[in-house]
Structure 1
């Protein structure tokens, strides 16, 4: 049987999806940025409402290990064989799997760092009203349309639990390159965060992305409705708070 109770290391506001539903009453102030997202290759990773399941995500992280030489995360998920016995089915992921499944259009040789000066210049162009001397930028100081974009990227791609109102280094790099149409290796950044989670005190990081990777590699994974990890995807109330 699958366990239904929520785990203390799961955050339902982490790795959520943004919405592009123009019919929502509170969407009006953000309409000018929707077309950018709709036509951009970031769309799938931002909006795909792939359902994720506790048994699979927990199995993956509990068994995950990283092979530095092969640049591969190895893990396993628990399944039943034809006789009903528990078996471990191996899975393994590289950066290229993240790139393919999430449909990122980056390349291995794209940078993962952007100069601090360039990021600050971009934030200024986004009409950031806060101080430029802070190491991180509070999203409440952005103009309305950019606030929606930054909020969406942080909630969908941030690797941590909490602190969603602040843009940290790699988020600023991603947004800078997206808005300036510069290359940036988002796939590698996300993979690096997964590796850090394997090596550190594991939590159920990237549940949506992990499930997408698992479903791509193992077809017809058994799923129980009561085992679903329910993510708090963006809705009209989210837009109202923005």
Structure 2
């Protein structure tokens, strides 16, 4: 299932996203509680080994479904990427979410491991949470939808809020969004379309650097002073 881009970004605005909707969708643009939730989903379910501050399109889909209480086939997403990595014929076939490593360890307890190649996991503490609090925190947003109410029922017709919702409206921020028709990670005929590692950024034109011109020093690629000196010596 592919969620419309406007549905994902509309919900993210409700959650307090403070960045540009046409740029990178980073977890740093949320208050600490939502930032921590996105941090956990990215680390647990993404198929990457870096750039954890940014969220891919399919991670946005998963988070949107978790918050709105919409069923989503997470297993299909994971195995699609596993199959793609195997077919790529490179060492990337070993890239998979961390929770799958836990499943493998549970089923095969005697698999030899290189201690220098295993990333140790620690329980979340106040110290590790404090690392997520870099810079000023965006305005705190209250928990909404399924996170606040386990019995929450998702809105119909690809809406990200019910008509009688009492949370702040995000229409003004949504006006800046330019929908990208090609950002689905599956295409309609069922063939796979690779998700870019990062969302495209709106380019900002740069002013050309001023040219520094020193008159009377260069003539045909040869310094005039050197040319005069050479003439006197000869």
TM-score by length of 1: 0.47
User: Normalized per residue, which structure has more strand?
Assistant: 1
User: Normalized per residue, which structure has more helix?
Assistant: 1
TM-score by length of 2: 0.49
Higher relative contact order (CA 8 A, sep 6+): 1
